[in-house]
Structure 1
Amino acid sequence: MLFITNRFPKQSIRTRIGRKFDFDLNDNAPSNSVFFCEKTGDQAYTEIGSVEFLSRLKTASYRQILIYIHGFSNLPEDVFKGAEEFQALCDKKKKKEVLVVPLIWPCDNDFGIVQDYWDDQKAADSSAYSFARVMEKFLYWRNSEAYNPHTDPCFKRINILAHSMGNRVLRETLAAWNRYDLADGVPLIFRNTFLVAADIVNESLQEGNRGELICHASRNVVVYFASDDLALRASKASNLKNKIASRRLGHTGPEDMRLTPANVYTVDCDDVNNIYDHPKGHSYFRSGRKQGQPGLVFEHIFETLLSGRVFPEDEFRRTTIIREE
């Protein structure tokens, strides 16, 4: 499995193609460097570099790429476990359709430098600068005649799935990229962006707010939320402790759909989130009632990936509720 990370390795931070890469789990500070790697076995990783990484994505037999940005309190092997489960579900639905690529940022491991939820927010914000470099590397590679000549362009569709605090990583990455590297705003680069159990304020996507760039960079933005998500309830309590009083996007959906761009859609998952992920009701976007069997939230995500449309039966519809019969 290919992946990108800004976690520090035990080795030097200097890129060396082909070297062994070991995560330093005692160091949870975000690195300014980014590493393009491949998981080759159980806790075995190799650094392959950005050019080889992007070339492999281009030549992969899969039609689409799904970048997976995980939430807080996830160690690398936790991220791989979730990504591999999602990959298996995709392959079960349609082989060679969607290739899952995790983007791994530094989270708490209970004894590292970053110690709690609040510091995970700081790590998410700081990761924006390194992942903005990833966006720049991708644009350079995509526009390079050497790597993508006009006779052989890259036709892969790119999608994003951000879970929990991974939404904060995505929001801040686009903001940093726009501020430091772009002249005319972020380009339309993602076909679908799925914001699942988003741990950002519920006004984020409104016009004029920091998360609006997510909408500019995406054809479709789909928000999956559940009011009884216990992990986000803890998030809200933590933010209140730090004097930030706002409901989370993953709890309520957008504060006011009339103020969000027209390409934002919402999916209420309140009836299934605790069935699929008991008791937290937070990671409800992969398997359903049985491990390895797709849930209805996954089914909706996958159908959107296939068609490129959130509600293909009704072009004016923007909301739905997922229920099991």
Structure 2
Amino acid sequence: MLFITNRFPTQSIRTRVGRRFTFDLKNNAPSNSVFFCQRQGLEEHEEVGSTELLKRLKDADYRQILVYIHGYSNLPEDVFAGAAEFQALCDASKPKEILVLPVIWPCDNDYGIVQDYWDDQKAADASALSLARVMEKFLAWRNDPKQNPQDDPCLKRINVLAHSMGNRVLRESLAAWNRYDLAGGVPLLFRNTFLVAADIVNESLESGNPGELIGHASRNVTVYFASDDLALRASKAANLKNRVASRRLGHTGPEDMDAVGKNVFSVDCDDVNTAYDSPKGHTYFRSGRAAGKPGVVFDHIFESLVTGRVFPEDEFRRRTVLKDGVA
């Protein structure tokens, strides 16, 4: 599995293609450097470099790429397990359609949920500049006539799925990219952007707010939410303790659908989230009631990936409630 990370390695931060890459789990500070790697097995990783990773993605026997940005309190092996589960579900649904590319940002799970939350929130913000560099590298690679000549362009569709605090990473990375590298706004980079259990305020996608750029960079933005997501309740409690009072996007969906772009869609998962991830109801976008069997949230995501449309049966529809029909 290919992956990108700004976590520090135990080795030097100097990139050396072909070297062993070992995560320094004692260091959860974000690195200014970004590492492009391949996972070969349990805690076995090799650094391949940005040009080689992008070439491998281009040459891969898959039609689309799904960039996966994980949530807080996830160590690398947790991220790989989740990405592998999602990959297996995709391959079972339609072989050679979706290739999952995890982006691993530094977070910690040693000190309890509230302490972790604030450490991870800072790490998410600090990761923005690093991951903005990834997007800038991709544009430079895509526009390089040596890497992508006119008779051999990269035709892969790119999608992104951000879970929990990974939505903050995505939001801040686009803002940093726009602020420091772009002249006139972010390009349309993603076919689908899926914001699952998003741990950002529910006005984030509105015009003038930091998440507005997510809509600019995406053909479709689909928000999956559940009001009884216990992990986001802990997040809300942590925010209230620190005098930040706002409902989370992953609890309510967009605050006002008329205030967000017409390419933003809202999906209520309240009827299935705790059945799929008991008791927290937070990680409900992969398997359903049985491990390895897709749930209705995954099915909805996958249909959007394949068709490029959130509600292909009704071009004007922007909201739905998901039910799996099991008592």
What's the TM-score once normalised by structure 1's chain length?
Answer: 0.99
Aligned to 1:176: 176
1:115 deviates by: 5.1
1:109 deviates by: 3.2
1:57 aligns with 2:83: no
Aligned to 1:43: 43
1:23 partner letter: F
Aligned to 1:76: 76
Aligned partners of 1:301 and 1:217: how far apart in 2?
A: 18
What SS class does the counterpart of residue 65 from structure 2 fall into? strand
What SS class does the counterpart of residue 33 from structure 1 fall into? strand
Mind listing any 5+ residue stretches in structure 2 that lack a counterpart? none
Aligned to 2:124: 124
Aligned partners of 2:179 and 2:264: how far apart in 1?
A: 23
1:137 aligns with 2:147: no
What SS class does the counterpart of residue 138 from structure 1 fall into? helix
Aligned to 1:186: 186
Aligned partners of 1:298 and 1:109: how far apart in 2?
A: 26
- Superposed, 1:192-231 pairs within 5 Å as 192-231=192-231
1:156-183, Cα deviation, whole Å (9 max, x unpaired) = 0000000000000000000000000000
1:11-65, Cα deviation, whole Å (9 max, x unpaired) = 0000000000000000000000000000011110000000000000000000000
2:23 partner letter: F
What SS class does the counterpart of residue 31 from structure 1 fall into? strand
Aligned to 2:8: 8
1:282-303, Cα deviation, whole Å (9 max, x unpaired) = 0000000100000000000000
Aligned partners of 2:207 and 2:175: how far apart in 1?
A: 14
How many pairs does the alignment contain? 324
- Contact 1:109 1:115 survives alignment (8 Å): no
Identity score, percent: 76
Mind listing any 5+ residue stretches in structure 1 that lack a counterpart? none
1:67-115, Cα deviation, whole Å (9 max, x unpaired) = 0000000000000000000000000000000000000000013169x95
Distance 1:58 1:229, change over 3 A: same
Aligned to 1:151: 151
1:207 partner letter: S
Moved over 6 A (4+): none
1:281 aligns with 2:263: no
2:99 partner letter: L
Aligned to 1:95: 95
Aligned partners of 2:235 and 2:108: how far apart in 1?
A: 15
- Contact 1:4 1:103 survives alignment (8 Å): yes
1:120 partner letter: D
Measured on the aligned residues, the alpha-carbon RMSD in Å equals: 1.1
- Contact 1:30 1:126 survives alignment (8 Å): yes
Aligned to 1:250: 250
Aligned partners of 1:261 and 1:41: how far apart in 2?
A: 42
What SS class does the counterpart of residue 39 from structure 2 fall into? strand
Aligned to 2:233: 233
1:315 aligns with 2:282: no
What's the TM-score once normalised by structure 2's chain length?
Answer: 0.98
- Contact 2:69 2:102 survives alignment (8 Å): yes
What SS class does the counterpart of residue 32 from structure 1 fall into? strand
1:116 partner letter: D
2:36 partner letter: F
1:321 partner letter: V
1:220-254, Cα deviation, whole Å (9 max, x unpaired) = 00000000000000000000111100000000000
1:295 partner letter: G
What SS class does the counterpart of residue 201 from structure 2 fall into? coil
- Contact 2:295 2:324 survives alignment (8 Å): no
Aligned to 1:31: 31
1:91 partner letter: D
Aligned partners of 2:65 and 2:324: how far apart in 1?
A: 29
- Contact 1:108 1:115 survives alignment (8 Å): no
What SS class does the counterpart of residue 107 from structure 1 fall into? coil
